[in-house]
Amino acid sequence: MPKKYLFQSHYRNVGSSRFGQRKPMGRPGVHIDPARFVNKAVEGEVIENFTPEHKFQDFKIDQRLITAIANKGYKTPTPIQDKIISHIIEGSDVVGIADTGSGKTAAFLVPLINKIMQNPREQILIVAPTRELAVQIDEEFRSFVKGMRIYSVVCVGGTSMGRQMSELRYRYNLIIGTPGRLKDLIERKMIYLSEFNTVVLDEADRMFDMGFINDTRFIINGMPRGRQTLFFSATISRDIERMIGEFTKNPVRISVKTRDTSKNVEQDVIKIDQGKTKLDVLSNLLNQKEFNKVLVFGRTKHGVEKLSKMLIYKGFRAESIHGNKNNSQRQRALGMFKENQVQILVATDVAARGLDIADISHVINYDLPSTYEDYIHRIGRTGRYNKRGMALTFID
């Protein structure tokens, strides 16, 4: 469990009326009660054990793939993997609803790689909301198929269109891309949707939030009617239900989501006392030994860049990612954070979804999230895979 920090006095009386007033936060008309940012983990809480019904070797998949899974160190399936892989192998449409950090990517990659191994001419399309998530899926895919002569192409915005067009001229089984870039390449006759019988919509709720619904609809409508559709979302709203009804046919629904936020993440708020600045408080926190790998969220691209420079000026090892950085700059920053070359990554909400970075000790909401859903996805970057994490939200 995290130790009692020096800032304990900053966040007393969270439930009192002093903090309970609903003030506008983020987009106009959006209100979040700060009490929702508090959720104490229980001292000595035992993480409940999950006993899977299957072992990986129980699934009807190629032995080479079983070996690749073992080589990655995967011993037993996670709940989403245990419950959904067989349905995908059988060819059903599926809707997967799972907590962040649940092993969802492998849950669809394993059966889809097996599908390619059965038919080397199989072509599969994976649609993701952000380039970071697309790249991450591709990295996971490549780690499974080493030496198997199975190839992928990543098609995302912010990178060279010419290079992607060149890669699409060679043999591939898998395209992983963001909706806008995929639509562009389809219109340029570089991708022929009629050749794809399987599509994955990953983080569909985020695609809807980011305004990609029309591009996604364009892609889906261009595919064969008899396709297999795999639909994954962390949250289910009326809009997402409409997407499910529009894009899938008689899907098998698998939900292993038990709560909005992970039970492994202790959540609290920090009240910025009069006479102090958020930067002062943040610096004091970051000097504590426990804050060894920290993801700090800001609201704007300019604010994130400014904060990271101020932290570097104060002697901290920090990097930033936001929309004004090109893809190579963002990947470099993420790589340094993953490899512990920097202690702090300051980010806009572009990093809130999909990133799977090991051992983040703390998420700090330096600026308030625009919505409670954004908050859930921000703090989901810590406390992953049954490890403890802490999320702290600054309140002026």
Select from 95, 85, 381 the least CA-distant residue to 230: 95
Q: Is the pTM of this model over 0.85?
A: no
Amino acid at 385: Y
pLDDT at residue 261, rounded to an integer: 59
With tokens 């090109």, the residue in question is 326
Q: Which two tokens stand for residue 178?
A: 């963001």
Residues 32 and 40: their CA atoms lie apart, in Å, by: 18
Give the architecture (CATH level 2) of 8-46+263-395. Answer: 3-Layer(aba) Sandwich (3.40)
Q: 8-46+263-395 with 56-255: one CATH topology?
A: yes
Sign of CA dihedral 360, 361, 367, 368: positive
Domain boundaries defined on the chain: 8-46+263-395, 56-255
Contact 100, 92 (CB under 8 A): no
What backbone torsions phi and psi does residue 158 show, to the nearest 5 degrees?
80, 0
Note the CATH number of domain 56-255: 3.40.50.300
At 58-93, the pLDDT tens digits run: 999 999 999 999 999 898 999 999 999 999 999 999
Contact 113, 65 (CB under 8 A): yes
**80: exposed, middle or buried (Cβ count in 10 Å: 0-12, 13-18, 19+):** buried
Orientation of helix 301-313 relative to helix 278-286, angle to 10°: 50
pLDDT at residue 383, rounded to an integer: 81
pLDDT at residue 388, rounded to an integer: 84
State whether residue 266 is helix, strand or coil.
strand
Give the other-Cβ count within 10 Å of 272's Cβ: 16
pLDDT at residue 51, rounded to an integer: 81
Q: CA–CA distance from 79 to each of 48, 82, 83, 106 (Å)? A: 12, 5, 6, 12
Contact 154, 191 (CB under 8 A): no
Render the burial of 129-140: b for 16+ CB within 10 Å, e for the rest.
bbbbbbbbbbee
Select from 391, 336, 354 the least CA-distant residue to 369: 391
State whether residue 3 is helix, strand or coil.
coil
pLDDT by residue for the chain (396 residues), tens only, comes to 333 343 333 333 333 323 333 333 334 434 576 666 666 543 333 335 678 889 999 999 999 999 999 999 898 999 999 999 999 999 999 999 986 667 899 999 999 999 999 999 999 999 999 888 899 999 999 999 998 999 999 999 988 899 999 999 999 999 999 999 999 999 999 999 999 999 999 989 888 877 899 999 999 999 999 999 999 988 787 888 999 999 999 999 998 865 555 667 888 899 988 889 999 999 999 999 999 999 999 999 999 999 999 999 999 999 999 988 887 888 899 999 999 999 999 999 876 556 778 789 999 999 998 887 788 888 888 887 667 889 999 988
Q: CA–CA distance from 13 to each of 20, 35, 268, 275 (Å)? A: 10, 10, 11, 19
Q: CA–CA distance from 50 to each of 56, 68, 70, 229 (Å)? A: 15, 23, 19, 28
Residues 186 and 222: their CA atoms lie apart, in Å, by: 9
Q: CA–CA distance from 135 to each of 157, 192, 356, 363 (Å)? A: 12, 22, 11, 22
